[in-house]
Structure 1
Amino acid sequence: MDLALLTTLNAERAARRATVLITHLSSGAQHLLRASEIATDPLAPQLEAALRAGKSGVVGEGDGRVFLTVHVPPPRVVVIGAVHISQALAPMARLAGYDVTIVDPRTAFATAERFPDTTVIAEWPDTALPDLALDPFTALVALTHDPKIDEPALEAALLADCFYVGALGSRRTHAKRLDRLADRGLSPALLGRIHAPIGLDIGAANPPEIAVAVLGEVIAALRKPAPAREAAA
């Protein structure tokens, strides 16, 4: 790999932007594609599948065979609310390979004792989220039921194009939430990205089961193409 290509790759990785290094096996020629450039590439379906899976490999045939070296940031889950569901979700998400951060301004709940081995930020989302730099490889899960805490976080996640945005609450609660978020200037298209009621419909009846449902929905949002997610909903 030449120095200019390596410099660009390192800069993209430092900025938590996904890239694919394409190596032509017949010639050894290489070029780098950013995620934003993939849609117009002839190999777009294979490139998109490789990014979703986070796996490198060979695609194409004959002289057109190329090796795709996939570079994706580690996926993260930012949980708004240091609640019982969060206590179950945090270790599950870590086992699944996600970095986990808990954000909750309520210092009685947001403690290291309640969330061992997990980053806990006892701040309001307005204060905490800018430093976390939400991005398309971040899932945001809002669980407090408190509009003052959840809704600024939901807005930030939608504007940052987080790959998953979910919020706890009934359909009636969510309808009122959508009205308030619309009043903040968010478009119907953005608001339609919120998963609510949160989690896969598995009949979850307690906090650990709800955590399983939420994590399953997060994984599906990361790994499945949009049409497949919609068909499974």
Structure 2
Amino acid sequence: MGKVRLWDAPVRLFHWSVVVLFGALWWSGENGKIDLHKTIGLVMLGLVVFRVLWGFLGGSTARFGSFVKGPGAVLTHLKASREGRAPTVVGHNPLGGWSVMVLLGLLALQVGLGLIAQDTDAVASGPLNHFVSYDTGDAAGEAHEVVFNILLLFVALHVAAVLFYLFVKRDNLVHPMLSGRKAFTQAVEQPTFAPAWRFLLSVALAAAFAGWIALGAPFSLEQAKQAWQAPPPSAEESYM
């Protein structure tokens, strides 16, 4: 009973970093700051990769295995919630767990489309655009905008759910994501947390992957060296 350490620092940093970067991506895209937009997109890529790794290497409340449940568990949770007898869950409940997975999936799709996308004039393109045809890059650019609107809808639903829990269920979900701790009125099982070396390993792998993608995903040291040393193409060169 009392306050329990619920969310570890990596989970909370990921959550709030996504909030900040999502707004920054929207602003940079709307204002034509393409280079900044691509840089932020690569940071978002690193975050998504990190969260996937942390879903296997992190503590008990961060691991996918603790909150990704089948349809039956989700339906049972919804029925119990309607009847006011939902059990106390330390971490994400079955529905919240799928909300996390949908968010990660949409973010991964959005970033992936941005990596191969190009604008209609083929002036600006993602770092992996050279792997696809002009038509594919053009279609990816259009889909990139569509998925962003879907993400906006998802964010709106997420905020609505947080407000519902706050004002209807009297359950503040924001404070634990800030402090890492949550008060429970009954005895619950204490979560376990991962050692620091797993966090450092996950960060290193995610950063290395994002850096590799930023170089155009070279498959040899020579290609990586050339990509690192090559100056960015001008708008005219990109168009040609």
Give the TM-score normalised by the residue count of structure 1. Answer: 0.23
Counting strand residues as a fraction of each chain, which structure ranks higher? 1
Give the TM-score normalised by the residue count of structure 2. Answer: 0.23
Counting helix residues as a fraction of each chain, which structure ranks higher? 2
